[in-house]
Amino acid sequence: MIPSSAPYPDAPDDGAADAILVRACLDGDGEAWAAVMGKYKRLIYSIPIKFGAQPDDAAEIFQAVCADLVAELPRLRRHEALKPWLMRVTRHKTLHWKTRSRRESLWTQPDDAPEHLVISDGPGTRLLEEVEREQAVRQAVESLPPRCREMVRLLFYEQPPLPYNEVARRLGLATGSIGFIRGRCLKKLRAQLKAAGF
Amino acid sequence: MGHFDVAFCADFVRGIVDADDRVALERHIAGCRPCAANLQWLVELAALTAAERQYEPPAELLVRAGAMFAIGKAQGDNGSSPDRSDLVSSKPDVKATGDSPAGM
């Protein structure tokens, strides 16, 4: 994760923030590149995983997408459209991998694609909608004040759910103050998600 | 009856409210749109965050990505375009394909 003090903190998905990052990358700014990776690493990696790739294959696809991004940066025309570009390229590489995998297993395994991967108007359309919503949640969480961000992470990203005394301990808060703070943080998160179209 | 607050709804979604409170909320939302809406976005939030851990790429991939960027920058500084063959250790099937940025 990019520290909040970094010059390119994660920001809501307004496109303009991505355009700034892309321009900085083109200027050779390594921190901007790290910010791009911090913002989109899970989006990129999640696509092959959702299509059933094992970690080794997902890693290959991740690296290939990164290589394409480095190589194509100077030719990107719409810097604000970084996210759809990443999704398109990652999907392309994932489908390529999937096609090869199916060919290789054609004679040994039935097609066991989960129902939610069934194609409607494009390969994995429903899945990519899920990817977009997950990314919207990540960016909404990142846009919260640091303590709220950590609170939401502890509440929703930890499995099994943490008891409140543990949440309080990790945040350095009194257990009794958790109730008020979590309510306030959740309202802020909801406002961010509403702005993102939830 | 008043509304259930968002924090209580979050506890419901996280499965940490007791059975009586659970039943009370389930009955309440059947006739209360604001609370049903509160619950709905929290349910989706929980669903979307549940698998997050498995989407975290290994740290070494980010190190390699940083190295790719450094190579691309060095090539750019020399006046040439980044060369994919220098950037990726490839399997033939998923190596960089040169997807056109057209439409971006």
Tell me: do B41 and B75 sit in the same domain: no
- In DSSP notation, B60-90 reads HHHHHHHHHHHHHHHHHHTTSPPPHHHH---
Q: What is the pLDDT of residues A99-110, one digit of tens each?
A: 888 877 765 555
Check residues A9 and A96 and name the one with the higher pLDDT: A96
Per the structure, the count of domains in chain B is 2
Give the contacts of A79 (CB within 8 A, at least 6 positions apart): A18, A19, A22, A23
Interface contact B96, partner A, CB < 8 A: yes
Across the range A159-165, mean pLDDT stands at: 86
φ, ψ (nearest 5 deg) of residue A160: -70, 165
Tell me: do A148 and A168 sit in the same domain: yes
The answer to whether the beta carbons of residues B101 and A77 sit under 8 Å apart is yes
**Residue range(s) defining the domain that contains residue B44:** 6-50
DSSP A109: S
**A2 pLDDT tier (thresholds 50, 70, 90):** very low
**Residue B12, both tokens:** 């419901």
**A161 pLDDT tier (thresholds 50, 70, 90):** confident
What residue spans of A2-124 are helical by DSSP H?
A: 16-26, 30-50, 55-72, 82-105
> Would you say how long chain B is, in residues?
104
Q: What local confidence, expressed as pLDDT, does residue A154 receive?
A: 93
The answer to whether the beta carbons of residues A6 and A189 sit under 8 Å apart is no
φ, ψ (nearest 5 deg) of residue A157: -100, -10
pLDDT at A183 exceeding the cut of 60: yes
Tell me: do B43 and B58 sit in the same domain: no
CB-nearest to A64 from B15, B46, B94 is B94
Tell me: do A187 and A94 sit in the same domain: no
Tell me: do B38 and B10 sit in the same domain: yes
Q: What local confidence, expressed as pLDDT, does residue A33 receive?
A: 97
Per the structure, the count of domains in chain A is 2
Tell me: do B13 and B27 sit in the same domain: yes
- Assign residue A157 the CATH number of its domain: 1.10.10.10
Q: What local confidence, expressed as pLDDT, does residue A146 receive?
A: 94
Residue B93 lies in a domain: no
pLDDT at A143 exceeding the cut of 90: yes
Tell me: do B10 and B45 sit in the same domain: yes
**A189 pLDDT tier (thresholds 50, 70, 90):** very high
- Chain A positions touching B4 (Cβ under 8 A) are none
Contacts made by residues B59-62, CB under 8 angstroms, sequence distance 24+: B61/A41, B61/A45, B61/A59, B61/A62, B61/A63, B61/A66, B62/A37, B62/A41
- Say how many Å lie between the first and final Cα of chain B, rounded: 52
The answer to whether the beta carbons of residues B95 and A64 sit under 8 Å apart is yes
Tell me: do B10 and B21 sit in the same domain: yes
**B26 pLDDT tier (thresholds 50, 70, 90):** very high
Tell me: do A81 and A163 sit in the same domain: no
Tell me: do A98 and A142 sit in the same domain: no
Q: What is the pLDDT of residues A53-70, one digit of tens each?
A: 999 999 999 999 999 999
Q: What is the pLDDT of residues A18-77, one digit of tens each?
A: 999 999 999 999 999 999 999 999 999 999 999 999 999 999 999 999 999 999 999 998
User: Does residue B91 come out as left (phi exceeding 0), alpha (psi in the -120 to 50 range) or beta?
Assistant: beta
**A13 pLDDT tier (thresholds 50, 70, 90):** low
Q: What is the pLDDT of residues A111-131, one digit of tens each?
A: 554 544 444 446 578 899 999
Tell me: do B27 and B40 sit in the same domain: yes
- Assign residue A110 the CATH number of its domain: 1.10.1740.10
Across the range A69-96, mean pLDDT stands at: 94
Contact B57 A42 (CB under 8 A): yes
Tell me: do B23 and B46 sit in the same domain: yes
Tell me: do A120 and A64 sit in the same domain: yes
Residue B45 lies in a domain: yes
Tell me: do B66 and B35 sit in the same domain: no
pLDDT at A196 exceeding the cut of 70: yes
Q: What ipTM goes with this model?
A: 0.81
- Chain B positions touching A63 (Cβ under 8 A) are 61, 64-65, 68, 88-89
The answer to whether the beta carbons of residues A46 and A59 sit under 8 Å apart is no
Q: What local confidence, expressed as pLDDT, does residue A60 receive?
A: 96
pLDDT at B75 exceeding the cut of 50: yes
Tell me: do B20 and B32 sit in the same domain: yes
pLDDT at B48 exceeding the cut of 70: yes
Residue B103 lies in a domain: no
Residue carrying structure tokens 């919207």: A136
**What does the alpha-carbon distance between residue B101 and residue A92 come to, in Å, rounded to a whole number?**
13
- Chain B positions touching A198 (Cβ under 8 A) are 41, 44
**Residue range(s) defining the domain that contains residue A19:** 1-129
Tell me: do A91 and A187 sit in the same domain: no
Domain boundary (A129, A156, A182) is at A129
Tell me: do B64 and B42 sit in the same domain: no
